[in-house]
Structure 1
Amino acid sequence: MVSVPRVVIGAPSSGQGKTTVATGLMAALRDRGLAVAPFKVGPDYIDPGYHGLAADRPGRNLDPFLTGEELVAPLFAHGAEGADVAVVEGVMGLFDGRLGTEGFASTAHVAGLIDAPVVLVVDVRHTSRSIGALVHGMSTFDPAIQIAGVVINQVGSQRHEREVRDALRVPVLGALPRNLDIEAPSRHLGLVPAAERDDAGIRAMGETVARYVDLDAVLAVASLAPVLDVSPWDPAAVVSPSGTARPRIAIAGGRAFTFRYPETDELLVAAGCDPVAFDPLTATSLPEGTAGLWIGGGFPEIHAEELAGNKALLADIAAAVKAGLPTVAECAGLLYLGDELDGRPMAGALPGTAAMTGRLTMGYRTATSDADNLLGRVGEQVTGHEFHRTQATVGDSPAWLLDGRPDGVASPSLSASYLHVHWAGHPQLAQRFADAAHAFVGNGWATAPARLALSEPERLEQDLDHHGDRDLAPGLTDLAVNVRQPSTPSWLQDAITRDADWAAYPDTAPAREAIARYHGVDPAMVLPVAGAAEAFSLIARGIPGDSLIIHPQFTEPEAALLAAGRRPRRHLLGAVDGFRLSAGSVPAAELTIVGNPTNPTGVLHTRDVLLALRARVLVVDEAFLDAVPGEPETLIEPEMPGRLVLRSLTKTWALAGIRAGYVVGDPALIALLTRQQAPWSVSTPAIAAMCACLTPQRRDESEELARAAEVGRIDLADRLRSLGLDPVDGAAPFVLVDTVSIASRSLRGDLAAHGYAVRRGESFPGLGPTWLRLAVRDPQTHQGLVEALNEIKEEHAV
């Protein structure tokens, strides 16, 4: 509940004096000793700068297009906390909003959302009595809007003022004479920002309003506002820290970069970051320990000469951005990161140039991301505002499509665009930026000397994109790929090809229901995916926090995290312990990923050990658990707080060519993944396969296959032991074995010469080249492999 008195300052059109009256009113009320909360309707950054000087607290914006209608009142309540009165400056004419929307995001719209009375400011220079008709029309145009008073502006004489007053049917709260000395100066994008002026003009506005406006009458109007039944917006409710460190976010400020919504800093603080302002005109380097860079809007074109002359900072920023420092640049920031601006050298962190033009580009924009990057996700839409007279060309890979038009440039560590976004309306952007900063700190890259010396991220010792199919070659017997049947069963082929409607867009609802029935869980706990690869990508993008991978295991989770701009920590299990998991030795993490049974070791961890891991979110890859009779130790159950389990149909049902898998887990986590998933990513054939495979009949068939795989594994392991090898004791339909007793190098090439393709061990973190992962096949194939290994052993013994 919010009971702060409040008033909205509107006008019939732009240019009537709203900013002068609103800013002067804020200063005058503050001089009375009142705590004044200042607000501006619309996306404008400049007026709130004046408001901040006048009220000595941040000027804030109220814009239904940028944040959604539902957030306007909570954001107002947040900004008005602790205030005695709130003054809201309107935008354009009272009822003028986004074109074609019948006044959406207008001053009247916002006044209605916060249930506040309106005071009209009317310029009377070229009229007198007609003002009565104008105000009367505005007062009756929308009965839901209460116009409680008028301030007449630019009065020419006492006689002029009496004529206007006599024509008005609403109270006149003040009359300002013509006095250009209190008007704020303008230039190509509107008013000169407050940061570039002293506060003498603000004081003059306050003194003039205090002299010519009845402040008590204004306060009486403000007190007409009823109690607002709303809870204040809380940044901590929409973002959270993804690590224990507090990464420093360097925030460009000073005279050249003045545009920033205060909620941006508040969201970053709530997400565990420490915003630190620096002035690109004077600073010679980024703040020490910078783990993220935010450069907002402003007027770099006005200060281009000074910015270009600060070569030390430009070089530091270029090196940091190219080294992967998480960086967000809006409008002016985009210009600053480019090669040059109006012929003057800038940072050179981005290719291309920018220059002033005679054309103003301005308006609300709906922005869509066509690729995953630092801020955006494929198909995701956000709202924003564009406002500039420059034109920039900065290369391919746009940050956003602005109403379909490519704009800016982006990468996993960068988003640079003309678009201004109010992050309170899209807090996922703040969360992603903060997560990237936390990851940057976690990588040890956030100290100044290391940052400047780093030319590219540390190269990994493994090819994380290597999979078993790349070890195949024509004529080789396949022991590298873990598909368990030579071909897809005929009944499954029929379900995919004959029974599925390929002409319709995919609908995952039937698959979700089938998965839920199969596992006895609520459908809200289920997300069909295009195989485990998509699932890990969704997790990397949608589940924030510092991440830990328990290795050796499937390489896709780490590859997905790296692609999302996150560097996970590794916890390596060792052969001396049989690659067994001890929960007490695993460090705590906010996101921990483990396989069960693990690929490539085949080790099956117990449920108790998995649940003892210290993880806020635990992800268990159970892609091979259906190959273990009875599926023991599964974590799938009706209640799965903080847990996600991945399953795959690929291996059991020979569906490598149709990506078919699913995630089961905490409904809140499933919802996070769902928001990341692109539309129709799961194909109609994959949906049909899920429905066909997840039935009681197929459960029995899967169990038979699992028992056969268990027999096959025992057979392969025993034959390897006959050679003196010691395969890892596991439960999956593959065997991991170290062949160092035969040779101190990889035998993959030797086995290929004997006609066998095997999965190389060195492609898994924690394993060396003498390790081989061997898929379980039939006894004849096993015997042929062992004979080949024996021949190789004898060749090495000679």
Structure 2
Amino acid sequence: MGTSLPRLVVAAPASGHGKTTVAVGLMAALSARGLRVSGHKVGPDYIDPGYHALATRRPARNLDPYLVGADRIVPLLLHGASGADVAVIEGVMGLFDGRLGSGGEASTAHVAALTASPVLLVVDISHASRTHAAVVAGLAGFDPAVRIAGVVLNKAGSARHADEVVAALGPIGIPVLGVLPRDAEVETPSRHLGLIPAAERDESGAVLERLAQLFEQHVNLDAVTALARQAPDVAGAVWDPCAEVRAASPGRPVVAVAGGRAFTFGYTETFELLRAAGCEVVCVDPLTDSALPAGTAGIYLGGGFPEVYASELASNTAFLGAIREAVAAGVPTVAECGGLAYLCRSVGEVAGVGALAAGAKMSPRLTLGYRNATAPADSLLARAGDQVTGHEFHRTRVTFDRPADPAWQLPEGPDGVAGPSLHASYLHTHWAGYPRLAQRFADAVHAFTGPDLHHHGDVEARPGLLDFAVNVYAGPRPDWLDAALHASLDDAASYPDSAAARDALAARHGLLGAEVLPTAGASEAFDLVARLRRWRRPVVIHPQYTGPHAALTAAGHNVDVVLCHAADDFALHPSEVPDDADLVVVGNPTNPTGVLHPAETLRRLLRPGRVVLVDEAFLDAIPGDPETLSGERHPGLLVSRSLTKHWSIPGVRAGYLLGDPGLIAAAARLQIPWSVSAPALAAMISCSDERALTESDLRAKQLALWRSDLGAALIARGVPFVAGAAPYVLARVGDGVHTALRENGIAVRRADTFPGLDATWVRIAVRPPEWTDQLLSALDRALR
């Protein structure tokens, strides 16, 4: 049993005849008569449906057999037209023009045949008269599956001109249902990608009102509705987004969807699928909003014209920062076309979000057409090998600063960039055709809780597990250090005095006492720096130890994030740090990557008015203290050091700040009196003499050997890892391996709590060979 749905397809012999004017005019005029009109568009177009939605006050819909599959066209039509009195389907290009080389796939005729809809042909008669009858006759006889049931003549120069065409059409037997005169007032202006979207035109409502009046006057609307009612009942099930996806949790996490004038491209069904998958879809305007909605757990940046509004978008620095921080924090983010350009460091000559190390510029040529695409690797949206169909429609070109993991592989080459929490590409996909994309994205949104900035390896090192999670040197403390710690208890009756420790540390690094501040571990140093000033734009370079970021957040600061990327071996690029950053925090070597940044690269971060904090917590675990800035004097430079890990004293909070004496004095004023304990001060003194330096170097060389052995074993197993220098290794072992190792008695540090990393990475502390052998055996079992 079929479904009754009055409907018609508005088509034309070619582009430029006025399909959009007639389709939108009919929608507006019929709506003005009180009918419930459902608007649909053949093909991947986003702009025309915007006018449809404005005219009908219903969501716009697309019908594209190539993007969603021919079998979904009728279900999507029935879904979109539910409750409507009539459906008006605007065609694309010429009636029989579809995907090149396909025999007319995705053409207006294809959709008309699939939906058994009568065709109302629009003909621009401005440059001929009787010849148009021949064109209409040819179109009517070309394909018996397509029935041209009426004609509207557009742009008639005069009544006499129109009468000539009507007379020529008489013998064909196809009625003329309207004649529209030339009326420039209802023409829609265009730009480099076609028509200007309705949302960008303040006068769109007035244009539709004039159109409705024009059609009431010049088109036989009764005959048009009668033609629509001639359509037979539609056989097929109604598309139901709830049958395509499921909610991964009972909550309703927020997905922020870019809208407003700059972002007008998006398929209605995409957002219906997200709602069906348990997400709360909230529209945001990057031109005017200053923040993402509360609780945002996913971001969808569709296409549009960010290049047109680049200056206005760039001036909204608060929203740029919110998007940049969210992407860096791993908020699942999908960006298509204009969204991809917006995420770049620059759009044309002005600033973009800066989440991608890339620039977007206008191109002299329009890129347009259908594409077949394959996912080259697992990502936020797809699994390796997944194939989709899509459409490209842009005149910008994105150039990446360095190689990136592509989102799709197209016949023309790689497209975009993708990872576990980001999928950004030029390809537009219609998720109704591939609901698994919506499901995968929604699942990630439901699972997102944000990086746990307070997660540390000691949480993972539990009794019964061999500890590769905590970066504490696996060996006994020197006797002289134990003796000093025990002796410090004799002073427990007095408040601790840090003067001797400060002087010892100053001598150790060749500095003055005023350039040193003992602290209760590096954590107190981070807290002091976070509270040192009311930072305007603090930046943390990730992935790195999350303590500084957490301290800044706790102090009430909004933190910008600059990411180092695996594809670039997590190298630091100072040019990617915003010029107006007044605090920059970076690790060296960085935890968890182990990358040791060149000292000269770090010096390039320094500039007047900026404070740079370099966390050297693990530098003494590398032979010779390479690339250290601890003994250098630069305005605005601070260096934090820690004794915790290298000297196996995590229970004794012993750290210190070095650097700019003005900043050191300001930090000291914020420090709680006697925050550094007597044992910690004793450790600082003992670990600063020549005996300690000799022992430190021996430990560092031992760690380097253990690291080399672990690296060789990982290479033998084909496990990718970062070629760093620290006493730990960041390895990409794959999904589920962290848990499998725990089940096999091994604790390694999960890495998905570090911004910029995901659950495929783990950090492995280097250990003696007999420990490493047990790790490798467990890893072999986990990788099977």
TM-score interval, smaller chain? 0.5 to 0.7
- Given that 1:281 and 1:307 are in contact with CA atoms closer than 8 Å, whether structure 2 keeps it comes out as yes
Name 2:299's counterpart in structure 1. Answer: 293
CA distance in 1, matches of 2:197, 2:303: 11
Deviation at 1:759, TM superposition (A): 2.3
Q: Give unmatched runs, 5+ long, in structure 1.
A: 462-469, 475-480, 482-533, 541-546, 569-745, 765-772, 774-798
Task: Give the whole-Å Cα distance in 1 for the aligned partners of 2:591 and 2:225.
Answer: 65
Alignment-derived partner of residue 305 in structure 1: 311
| 1:398-419 CA-partner distances (Å, limit 9, x unpaired) | 1111224111111111111111
Q: Helix, strand or coil: the match of 1:324?
A: coil
Indicate which of 178, 186, 197 corresponds to 2:182. 178
The one of 409, 413, 420 equivalent to 2:417 is: 409
Equivalent residue number for residue 155 of structure 2: 154
**CA offset digits 1:449-496 (Å, max 9, x no partner):** 6995596899999xxxxxxxx99989xxxxxx9xxxxxxxxxxxxxxx
Q: Does residue 278 of the first structure (1) align with residue 279 of the second (2)?
A: no
Equivalent positions of 1:234-383 (< 5 A) are 234-383=240-389
Name 2:774's counterpart in structure 1.
759
Q: Is the CA contact (8 Å cut-off) linking 2:259 and 2:286 kept in structure 1? A: yes
The aligned residue for residue 192 of structure 1 is 196
Relative distance call for 1:247 and 1:14 in structure 2 (3 A) is: same
Cα deviation for residue 553 of structure 1 reads: 4.9
SS for the counterpart of 1:249 is strand
Mapping 1:155-234, distance limit 5 Å: 155-168=156-169, 169=172, 170-198=174-202, 199-234=205-240
Q: 3-state DSSP class of the match of 1:759?
A: helix
Structure 2 Cα separation of the partners of residues 342 and 405 of structure 1: 23
Q: SS at the partner of 2:357?
A: coil
1:368–1:404 Cα contact (<8 Å) kept: no
Cα separation, 2, equivalents of 1:361 and 1:353: 17
CA contact (8 A) 1:442 1:567 kept: no
Per-residue deviation at 1:758? 5.8
- Helix, strand or coil at the partner of 2:449: helix
Give, in whole Å, the separation in 1 of the partners of 2:751 and 2:241. Answer: 28
Distance in 1 between residues matched to 2:733 and 2:75, nearest whole Å: 35
Partner deviation per Cα, 1:160-203 (whole Å, 9 max, x = no partner)? 11111111120111110111111111111111100011311111
Amino acid at match of 1:426: Y
In structure 2, how many angstroms separate the alpha carbons of the residues matched to 1:58 and 1:167?
39
Q: Is the 8 A contact 1:439 1:567 kept in 2?
A: no
Q: Does 1:102 align with 2:93?
A: no
Distance 1:291 1:228 in 2: 40
2:439 and 2:753 map into 1 onto residues whose CA distance is 17
Give, in whole Å, the separation in 1 of the partners of 2:420 and 2:21.
Answer: 44
In structure 2, what is the Cα distance between the partners aligned to 1:333 and 1:310? 16
On the 8 A contact 1:443/1:567 being kept in 2, the answer is no
Name the CA distance, whole Å, in 1 between partners of 2:373 and 2:242: 25
Change in CA separation of 1:549 and 1:449 when aligned onto 2, cut-off 3 Å: farther
Alpha-carbon RMSD: 3.7
Q: SS state of the match for residue 393, structure 1?
A: strand
Give the match for residue 691 of structure 2.
none
The structural deviation recorded for 1:324 is: 1.0
Conserved 8 A contact 1:436-1:566: no
Counterpart residue identity of residue 441, structure 2: F
Q: How does 1:46-57 map to 2 (within 5 A)?
A: 46-57=47-58
Residue 237 of structure 1 deviates from its aligned partner by 1.0
The answer to whether the Cα contact below 8 Å between 1:472 and 1:757 also exists between their aligned partners in 2 is no
Structure 2 CA distance for aligned equivalents of residues 2 and 333 of structure 1: 39
Specify whether residues 207 and 459 from structure 1 end up closer, same or farther in structure 2 by C-alpha distance, changes over 3 A only. farther
Give the conservation status (yes or no) of the 8 Å contact 2:741–2:778. Answer: no
Closer, same or farther: CA 238–342 of 1 in aligned 2, 3 Å: same
1:421 pairs with 2:429 = yes
Match of 1:438 in 2: 446
| Number of equivalent positions | 512
Q: What corresponds to 1:130 in structure 2?
A: 131
Deviation of residue 2 (structure 1)?
Answer: 2.3
| Higher alpha-carbon deviation: 102-111 or 179-188 | 179-188
1:20 is aligned to 21
Matched residue, 1:590: none
Are the aligned partners of 2:375 and 2:383 in contact in 1 as well (CA < 8 Å)?
Answer: yes
Aligned in 2, Cα 1:443/1:243: closer, same or farther, shift over 3 Å?
Answer: farther
The separation in 1 between residues aligned to 2:408 and 2:776, in whole angstroms, is 41
Deviation at 1:8, TM superposition (A): 0.2
Contact 1:399–1:417, Cα closer than 8 Å, also in 2: yes
Return the letter of the residue paired with 2:37. Answer: V
Sequence identity percentage: 54
Q: Which amino acid aligns with 1:201?
A: V
Instruction: Return the alpha-carbon distance in structure 1 between the equivalents of residues 68 and 126 of structure 2.
Output: 37
CA contact (8 A) 1:4 1:86 kept: yes
Instruction: Give 3-state SS (helix, strand or coil) of 1:352's partner.
Output: strand
Secondary structure at 1:125 match in 2: coil
Once residues 427 and 119 of structure 2 are traced to their aligned partners in structure 1, the CA distance between those partners, rounded to angstroms, is 31
Check whether the contact 1:42–1:91 (CA below 8 A) recurs between aligned residues. yes
Q: Determine if contact 2:346/2:352 at 8 Å carries over to the other structure.
A: yes
SS of corresponding position for 2:153? strand
Counterpart of 2:325 in 1: which secondary structure? helix
How far has the Cα of 1:354 moved from its partner? 1.0
Q: 1:16 to 1:289 in 2, by over 3 A?
A: same
CA contact (8 A) 1:6 1:117 kept: yes
Alignment of 1:314-713 (within 5 A): 314-394=320-400, 395=402, 396-441=404-449, 453=559, 552-553=743-744
The verdict on how the C-alpha distance between 1:76 and 1:278 changes in structure 2, with shifts beyond 3 A counting, is: same
CA distance 1:392–1:165, change in 2 (3 Å): same
Contact 1:549 1:558 in 2 (8 A): no
Residues 102-145 of structure 1, C-alpha deviation per residue, up to 9 Å, x if partnerless? 11100000011111000000000111111111111100000110
C-alpha distance 157-66 of structure 1, shift in aligned 2 (>3 A): same
- Summarize the Cα distance change of 1:553–1:206 in structure 2 as closer, same or farther, 3 Å threshold: farther
Is the CA contact (8 Å cut-off) linking 1:471 and 1:759 kept in structure 2? no
1:337/1:535 CA distance change after superposition, 3 Å = closer
Aligned to 2:9: 8
Q: Secondary structure at the match of 1:339?
A: strand
- 8 A Cα contact 2:750 2:759, kept in partner: no
What do residues 661-703 of structure 1 show as CA deviations (whole Å, max 9, x unaligned)? xxxxxxxxxxxxxxxxxxxxxxxxxxxxxxxxxxxxxxxxxxx
Residues 260 and 285, structure 2, Cα contact 8 Å, conserved in 1:
yes
In structure 2, the partner of 1:145 is 146
Task: Indicate the residue corresponding to 2:32 in structure 1.
Answer: 31
What amino acid does structure 1 have at the position aligned with 2:383?
R
The secondary structure found in structure 2 opposite 1:82 is coil
Structure 2 residue matching 1:384: 3-state secondary structure: strand
- Provide the TM-score with structure 2 as the length reference: 0.60
Q: Distance in 2 between matches of 1:558 and 1:41?
A: 52
What is the DSSP-based 3-state SS (H/G/I as helix, E as strand, rest coil) of the residue aligned with 2:20?
A: helix
Q: 2 CA distance for matches of 1:301 and 1:154?
A: 34
Per-residue CA shift, 1:199-250, capped at 9, x if unaligned?
1111111211121111111111111111111111111111111112211111
Change (3 A) 1:443 1:318: closer
After TM superposition, give the deviation of residue 565 of structure 1 in Å. Answer: 8.4
CA distance in 2, matches of 1:186, 1:404: 28
Give the distance between the partners of 1:346 and 1:548, measured in 2 at CA.
39
1:211 to 1:473, Cα distance in 2 relative to 1, 3 A: closer
Gaps of at least 5 residues in structure 2 are 455-549, 565-589, 594-705, 711-716, 718-731
- Cα gap change, 1:375/1:162 in structure 2, threshold over 3 Å: closer, same or farther? same
**CA–CA distance in 1 between the matches of 2:448 and 2:592?**
16
